[in-house]
Amino acid sequence: MNFKEIIRDKTRDNLCKKLLAINIDCTLSERGIIEEKLFNPWHRKSLGVIKINSDSPIEYINIVKKPGGKNSPPRWWNYFAIPAVTSNSKEGYFEVSSIRKKSFPVFGKVTSIVWKSNTNGENLANKFTQDAEINSLAFKLGDIKVQSLHGNPSGYSIEIEFARSIRSGLLSLSAPNITIDINQWSTINKIANLCFEN
């Protein structure tokens, strides 16, 4: 194995392996495809796309990284894309985000989940609040943001920033704490289907 491969960020590889381990049919897409542009501004970079071949409203996952700086560790976001026909008008845009309440800021344990939203997302936020599985997902995996997409691509996106340990430090080559089980995958799909009902 050459040095370039040793230091390559393997977050995408690791998430793909986790999905395959729970019998989700998925593949690593070739690099440079248009799907890598989903929520990938100039100051971040896509690590590539995982194509979901199993029966699911989620068609692909774009993994995006922001490199660490002098005083901040790197960050990774996973965008679960649900392509669908939505209005070109942003008047229907909705956004719902989890807030993980902690016993003590930064270092404390997560004690509860609160959902915030814009006006169009209030109905969805109420459904999330009342759903034990969705709250458990945010509690165990990390911050979640759900939003509609108006343009190209159109549809919906579920963003998950897996919780990371403070001790993971500035030198993490790949995202720590990447984990997902079959029940969590089912809950992510539940969120995807609720987007169609909003």
161, exposed or middle or buried, with CB in 10 Å at 0-12, 13-18, 19+? middle
- The identity of residue 190, as a single letter, is K
- pLDDT of amino acid 176: 75
The pLDDT profile of the chain, 198 residues, written as one tens digit per residue, is 687 777 889 999 999 999 999 999 999 999 999 999 999 888 889 999 999 999 999 999 999 998 877 777 888 999 999 999 998 888 999 999 999 888 766 667 888 899 999 999 999 999 999 999 999 999 999 999 999 999 889 999 999 998 765 444 445 678 777 889 999 999 999 999 999 988
**What's the Cα-to-Cα distance from 17 to each of 12, 39, 114, 126, 148, rounded to whole Å?**
9, 23, 31, 33, 28
- The pTM for the full model equals 0.91
Selection from 75, 59, 58, 91 nearest residue 9 by Cα: 75
- pLDDT of amino acid 165: 53
- pLDDT of amino acid 41: 83
- pLDDT of amino acid 171: 54
Which tokens is 48 given? Answer: 């590539």
Q: How far apart are CA 129 and CA 30, in angstroms?
A: 38
